């Protein structure tokens, strides 16, 4: 049986259907809630509290990077980046792709989806607020992910 690059890509590049910002905020809220109620959690959870705290820090850092990019750039920047990625992809012969180039294309397409998400978000708001703001104001959170 021949190696199918599409199957390899599916194993290596996990496509998410939901917003990356929404998933970061939801995961952060779930972990934070569990840590605040750690007495009610399982023994296994209690043994991994340090790991969950590191996850919170990582999620906070990821969100702040996205927030900084979003707040400091315009829609035109995101459109330019998408066009650059598409130009790079279109310059290659599709019949002669090797695995590395194919995975690169997958990453560029994923990046384009992220930029499109930020463009959609820019049409709703000019500034992303800190993470805690959205956790305290669920209505504002629903506005940005809807």
24 located within any domain: yes
State yes or no: pLDDT of 39 exceeds 90: no
pTM: 0.76
6 located within any domain: no
128 located within any domain: yes
Long-range CB contacts for residues 127-131, cutoff 8 Å, separation at least 24 = 127/70, 127/71, 128/21, 128/66, 128/67, 128/70, 128/71, 130/67, 131/25, 131/28, 131/60, 131/63, 131/64
5 located within any domain: no
Local structure of 122: helix, strand or coil: helix
Q: How far is CA 4 from the centre of its chain?
A: 27
Identify the domain containing residue 129 by its residue range: 19-145
pLDDT band at 50 (very low <50, low <70, confident <90, very high): confident
For 60, the token pair is 């906070």
pLDDT of residue 55: 93
């Amino acid at each position: 049986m021949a190696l199918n690059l599409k199957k390899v890509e599916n194993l290596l590049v996990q496509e998410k259907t939901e917003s990356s910002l929404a998933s970061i905020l939801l995961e952060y809220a779930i972990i934070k809630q569990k840590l605040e109620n750690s007495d009610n959690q399982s023994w296994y959870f209690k043994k991994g509290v340090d790991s969950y705290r590191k996850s919170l820090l990582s999620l906070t850092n990821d969100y702040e990077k996205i927030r900084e990019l979003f707040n400091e750039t315009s829609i035109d920047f995101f459109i330019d980046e998408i066009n650059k990625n598409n130009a790079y992809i279109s310059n290659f012969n599709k019949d002669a792709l090797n695995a590395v180039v194919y995975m690169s294309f997958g990453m560029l397409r994923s990046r384009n989806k992220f930029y499109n998400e930020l463009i959609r978000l820019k049409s709703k708001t000019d500034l992303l607020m800190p993470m805690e703001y959205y956790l305290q104001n669920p209505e504002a959170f629903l506005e940005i992910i809807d």
